[in-house]
Amino acid sequence: MHRRWIALAIALTFSGMTQAHETTPPSAPAAQAGADDENLWLDDIDGAKPLEWVKARNAETTAKYAEGQDFKTLEGRILEVLDSDAKIPMVSKIGDHYYNFWRDKQHPKGLWRRTTLDEYRKDKPAWETVIDLDALAATEKENWVWHGAQCLKPENRRCLVSLSRGGADADVVREFDLSTKAFVKDGFTLPEAKTLVSWIDDDHLFVATDFGPGSMTDSSYARIVKEWTRGTPLSSAKTVYEGKKTDMSIWAFRDKTPGYERDFVSRALEFYSSETFLRGKDGKLTKIDVPNDAETDVEREWLLIEPRTAWTVGGKTYPSGSLLAANFDDFMAGKREITVLFTPDAHTSMAGHSWTRHHLILNLMHDVVSEVRILTPAAKGDWKSEVLSGAPALSTMQAAGVDADESDAYFLTVTGYLQPTTLYYGVLGQGDREALKHSPAFFDASKYAVSQHFATSKDGTKVPYFEIAPKAMKADGTNPTLVYGYGGFEIPLQPMYSAGVGRAWLEKGGVYVVANIRGGGEYGPAWHQAALKANRPRAYEDFAAVSQDLIDRKITSPKHMGMMGGSNGGLLAGNMLTKYPQLYGAVVSQVALLDMKRYTHMSAGASWMAEYGDPDKPEEWKYIQTFSPYHNLKKGVHYPPVLFTTSTRDDRVGPVHARKMAARMQAMGLDASFYENIEGGHGAAADNKQSAFMNALAYTYLWEHLK
């Protein structure tokens, strides 16, 4: 259930803006594979010798790219955006208040604060500080990074606050009282771990965490979920469900919707396969009988089902990427009366959905451009459908319910590459929406134009891409062009405003391109599945096709074209570097997977075998090695200069990939630069200042090589 949330949490697209460092002991195949790996010593993430190497490489990169006046000016301009008081303070409703987490120059770690809707409507709302993270970090002498809060409905007085040391995925969880604005003395507290926790009631929690040796999966997530009673030691918590070591993760939660309170247990078998169970009052678990690769959502009387592959049930076949509805109680009783709410086509897919009290909001994409539909449930037959209009061309419009328990209110954001974000507030069925907030323009967009193009990949597939370029651009092959991509985990790259791209790239005369390659979610599950496992090279062929199309259209040429990507996009960057070096003048690979032979034994890597395959199986390593950049470097090949950036505190992908790749390339005499931020987690930055530095470093590096 809610696998899309997991995908975003575990495989989050990197935008460039502990116990957690423990790695799973390598199995025999992995250990043997490492026998000829000269850089295994860099696996010791916090070891003195590897960190000395990191600091030396950091100093080299800083001296070469981060000490000139142009760098300092760019860093300052990016930081100005990140610290700006004029940005939209996005909010979420908790009880009667609207909460926001805010960072600026005065509060680099951030404020968790709240206001009322009437105040929020004002240009300068009056905010009440709930937690000052900078003050808390100073008092407790911890580098706390905010990871969110979960509050107990319906009173919304007690919350579980998640704090990370330095930005790692692992959290410390502490109970907080919203009425006193203080942590609860002797309240629920969980030590640092990759924890999933949910309120049951005032005195009980579902807790999936590190309970000691053997309690975590190979993917470094919880294998066991327990029910914990207030005032008792965690060791006495009662087991609710216990999964296998080879599962990805286990967790449980209570749906607190008034009148529809239910407990669920979910078992993620792998990234795209899970089982969800309804837990009875007697503790008995009843599986929601849908395919394991289908995503489900339960809201009041409704069960929504999103099959990722075609599903035949009740004599009917429902296509991959569709959205289906059934009465939950009837479905659990064995009835299969299903209503089709959405059916994809060759150009249209679903990006997500959200409930209000009486309606269902569908966020759709037509050739990667947004469309929003409002559905009204019907007990039987077709649900009423209408379009929520108002999105400009080539833009992204996304709507979400504000509080599905209480109202039909919704927030709507509209944004585009050259269009600063606007936040609207409306109530479905009650007239026009109102514009609440406008993000300022951080660069002069009037000089540029956005266009969409389609490149033809090696197998004939049409691959869309967006181009943002100066209106006065000449198609003479000399324009510095940056191509960005991701292509994984069914995550789409839709148009969005980026002040950083505007200031760091467009204003300097560059062309910015976003490639919507296979592996992403731009056209639903099928677009993603087309680049899974043995088909992963399709994503790289798509990216190469987009790059070649830019050359053919004389927008740019190899010596003026660079590419950048992070996380799975960093793996993309590594493959464009090693498989298509002739296309680029420079490459930036951020928090990347690069050693695909041992990735399952690093940090959370085992959780991604459904995406890439299992390299410990010889038949799967045979195809995985074709897209393992670390193993595909060859002597005598001219590679473009490359910058690898990462974070010591990244406990998702880990810094070892980038360390080893840079070390091997440098030993081969190749132009490979490296920078590892000591803090920052998978985002590679723990605060705005660090983020500004990392962004400025990447863009400065590209300009130095492409101008």
DSSP 69-101: HHHHHHHHHHHHHHT-TTS----EEETTEEEEE
Query: In the block, which residue shows the tokens 């009440």?
Result: 128
pLDDT digits (tens, 9 = 90+) for 260-318: 999 999 999 999 999 999 999 999 999 999 999 999 999 999 999 999 999 999 999 99
Please, is 292 exposed, middle or buried when counting C-beta atoms within 10 Å of its C-beta (0-12, 13-18, 19+)?
A: middle
CATH 2.60.40.10 fits 48-79+456-706, yes or no: no
* Catalytic-role residue among 97, 107, 353, 682: 682
Host H or E run for residue 624: helix 618-624
Q: Which of 32-46, 98-112, 320-334, 684-698 has the lowest mean pLDDT?
A: 32-46
Contacts 24+ apart (CB under 8 A), 32-41: 33/597, 33/598, 33/615, 34/597, 34/598, 37/598, 37/660, 38/664, 38/667, 39/659, 39/660, 39/663, 39/664
Note the pLDDT tens digit of each residue in 341-382: 999 999 999 999 999 999 999 999 999 999 999 999 988 778
Is the pLDDT at 577 greater than 50? The verdict is yes
Q: Measure the CA–CA gap between 190 and 234, rounded to whole angstroms.
A: 8
Question: What was the pLDDT predicted at 435?
Answer: 96
Please state, rounded to an integer, the average pLDDT across all residues of the chain: 93
Q: What are phi and psi of 546, to 5 degrees?
A: -65, -45
Torsions phi, psi for 449 (to 5 deg)? -135, 145
* pLDDT for position 391: 75
* Rounded CA Rg of the chain: 25
Per mean pLDDT, which range of 14-18, 252-256, 616-620, 626-630 is the poorest? 14-18
pLDDT of residue 298: 98
From the candidates 567, 589, 628, 673, which is the catalytic residue?
Answer: 567
Is the per-residue pLDDT at 525 higher than 50?
yes
**Mean predicted confidence (pLDDT) in 591-598:** 97
- Structure confidence by residue, pLDDT tens digits, 474-511: 999 999 999 999 999 999 999 999 999 999 999 999 99
Q: Is 567 an annotated catalytic residue?
A: yes
Query: Looking at the predicted structure, is the pLDDT value of residue 178 above 70?
Result: yes
Instruction: Report d(CA 451, CA 466) in Å as an integer.
Output: 6
Distance separating alpha carbons of residues 596 and 616, to the nearest angstrom: 10
Looking at the predicted structure, is the pLDDT value of residue 188 above 80?
Answer: yes
Q: Report the C-alpha gap between 101 and 703 in whole angstroms.
A: 33
Asked whether the predicted pLDDT for residue 430 surpasses 70, the reply is yes
User: What mean pLDDT is predicted for residues 391-406?
Assistant: 93
Per-residue DSSP letter, 103: -
Per-residue pLDDT band for 404 (boundaries 50, 70, 90) equals very high
Query: What is the pLDDT at residue 35?
Result: 57
Residue 34 banded pLDDT, cuts 50, 70, 90: low
Of 1 and 559, more confident: 559
Single-letter code of the amino acid located at 150: Q
pLDDT value at position 513? 98
Instruction: Confirm whether 359 is a catalytic residue.
Output: no
Domain ranges of the chain: 48-79+456-706, 288-344, 350-439
Contact 391, 371 (CB under 8 A): yes
pLDDT at 558: 98
Residue 404 phi/psi, 5-degree rounding, is -65, -20
CA 683 vs CA 376, 496, 590: distances in Å: 39, 18, 9
Residue-level pLDDT at 389: 83
* Confidence band of 678 (pLDDT split at 50, 70, 90): confident
* pLDDT at position 449: 98
Please tell me the number of Cα atoms within 13 Å of 458 on its side-chain side: 10
Over 90: is that where the pLDDT of 398 sits?
yes
pLDDT at 32 exceeding the cut of 70? no
pLDDT in tens, 200-235: 999 999 999 999 999 999 999 999 999 999 999 999
Mean pLDDT of 535-559: 98
Tell me how crowded residue 231 is: count the other CB atoms within 10 A of its CB: 9
Task: Give how far Cα 632 sits from Cα of 39, 336, 673, Å.
Answer: 15, 50, 18
| pLDDT of 266 | 98
> Any idea which of 65-79, 271-285, 383-397, 582-596 has the lowest mean pLDDT?
383-397
Q: Which residues contact 28 (CB under 8 A, 6 or more apart)?
A: none
Instruction: Give 1's pLDDT tier (boundaries 50, 70, 90).
Output: very low
Which pLDDT does position 18 carry in this prediction?
28
Residue 410, token pair as written in the block: 């919704």
